[in-house]
Chain A
Amino acid sequence: MKAKLPWIFLALGTLLLVGGSYMGLFVAPAERYMGDVQRIMYVHVPTAWNWMLAVLFAFGCAIAFLFTNNLKWDSRMEAGIEVGVLLGFLLCCQGAIWAKPTWGVWWDWDPRLTSVAVLLVASLGILALRGFVDEPPRRAVWSAVATIIASVDLPIVYFSVKWWNSLHQPQSTPETVASAFHVPLRVNAFGVLFLMIGFIMLRTRVAALRLKREVDVPQMHQEAGELA
């Protein structure tokens, strides 16, 4: 059952995302000022929420690793960071596509966009750092510390639209979004959430298998040396 769990999440996520997107594209009404372009919200906002959750997950794993020194948290952290990079990249693409017809530009160095870009680049940097360090315990400590430092940007992303006079609209919540748009937004939010969970579970397996191989190889060398 445990082996099938990621696939169940991926299947559920796909179903919800297809259903929610259908409602968002063909059932929900067009927004008064943005017209049909506003339909991008049904993928953009769920991606943003779940990107923040993925970063928060990686942050939690980094803290858990530093407290327990257990490398399973390092594998989970690696998964959280990589899935966060995927969601962050999609978020920036969707945002740029939505910005062009509404703001007139693909990109603006507005506080929300800039803070998202900083966190995305920092996450890519952490993945690169992991590629440069061969020793698993040292790699885990360095990337846990880097993840905690990078996560400081997360509250800045969240509150940027409140703290500064931003071009980006305020947070999308049931209070700021018209009730006609709630259902596709919520269905897609759960769809992306389940996809994210499934991806993180599978990516954790990849990281754990790689780690097992890395730890096994030095042991084999050591055993070979002892035999010689």
Chain B
Amino acid sequence: MSGVVQGGWEFVIAAYTITALGFLIYGASLVMRLRELKEDD
């Protein structure tokens, strides 16, 4: 036990992927909601 965290790239990739997906999905949902409301307007 060195007290140093070894490896861990899978955690880094998971954190960045979740962040990117969160922003992408939310952005897409906003565009869809806006489009629907403008069509109805």
Contact = CB atoms under 8 A, between A and B. Distances in A.
B37 A40 contact: no
B14 interface: yes
Interface stretch (A30-38, A62-70, A120-128, A165-173): A30-38
Contacts of A44: 15
Contact of A32 (B4, B9, B18): B4
A40 B30 contact: no
A199 B19 contact: no
Nearest to A99: B11
Contacts of B33: 206
Interface string A63-106: 00000000000000000000000100110011001101110000
A89 B16 contact: no
Query: For the complex, would chain A's binding face be called helix, strand, loop or mixed by DSSP majority?
Result: helix
Contact of A195 (B11, B18, B23): B23
A34 B15 contact: no
A10 B30 CA distance: 12
B18 A36 contact: no
B14 A97 contact: yes
A25 interface: yes
B32 to A, nearest CB: 10
Interface string A180-211: 00000000000000010001001101100110
A121 B6 CA distance: 34
B34 interface: yes
B40 A213 contact: yes
A205 B33 CA distance: 10
Contact of B22 (A25, A89, A203, A209): A89
Interface string A38-49: 011001100100
B11 A205 contact: no
Interface of A: 10, 17, 21, 25, 32-37, 39-40, 43-44, 47, 86, 89-90, 93-94, 97-98, 100-102, 195, 199, 202-203, 205-206, 209-210, 212-213
Given A25-B12, A35-B7, A195-B23, 15 more contacts: A17-B23, A35-B5, A35-B8, A37-B5, A37-B8, A39-B12, A86-B26, A89-B22, A90-B18, A90-B22, A93-B18, A94-B15, A97-B11, A98-B11, A202-B30
15 contacts: A33-B4, A35-B7, A36-B9, A37-B8, A37-B11, A43-B16, A86-B26, A90-B23, A93-B18, A97-B14, A97-B15, A100-B11, A199-B27, A206-B30, A209-B38
